Structure 1
Amino acid sequence: MKKYNVIADFIDKETGELVKSGDTFAADDERAEQLKEKQLIGKEAEKQTAKPKGSSAPKQEEQASPTSSDKQADGEA
């Protein structure tokens, strides 16, 4: 099954669960066509690349350094 980007909220008739816009939804080709016709799903979702199992290095988060205008706004010189 392929995964698709949800573009409108809907109740899945097969599970009865709410599927929200912005989610991804797994469907076979036939079901995907039905949902596309009703404009509930869009394009196939981008496949995420899996990390190799040996790669356990911690992520480094980017933090913006305060600009001089930020320092002045906080009362710092």
Structure 2
Amino acid sequence: MRQRNSSKDLEMHVHGYMLLRRYYRQVGLLLISVLVIAIFMITSPQVFLSSRIYFTFMSTVPFVGIMALGLTLVLVSGEIDM
């Protein structure tokens, strides 16, 4: 009886560790992104603190994003081999 509980505890511990590791990886990427944007804003505030760059970004990126989604669906379905 004791062996079964320790096996289940170990499995829960490993699962919890994997979730924590995934969480740290995602938070790390977010922090690095924020750090890079902050560095750009500090080094070139006339560009990155103006609203013009963000409006330009929002008007050009959706087209590429929509094309990327379409290509992703084709690749995931296996229609194109790379």
Q: TM-score, normalised by structure 1?
A: 0.22
Q: TM-score, normalised by structure 2?
A: 0.22
* Structure with the bigger percentage of strand: 1
* Structure with the bigger percentage of helix: 2
Query: Which fold has the larger relative contact order, with Cα–Cα distance below 8 Å and residues 6 or more apart in sequence?
Result: 1
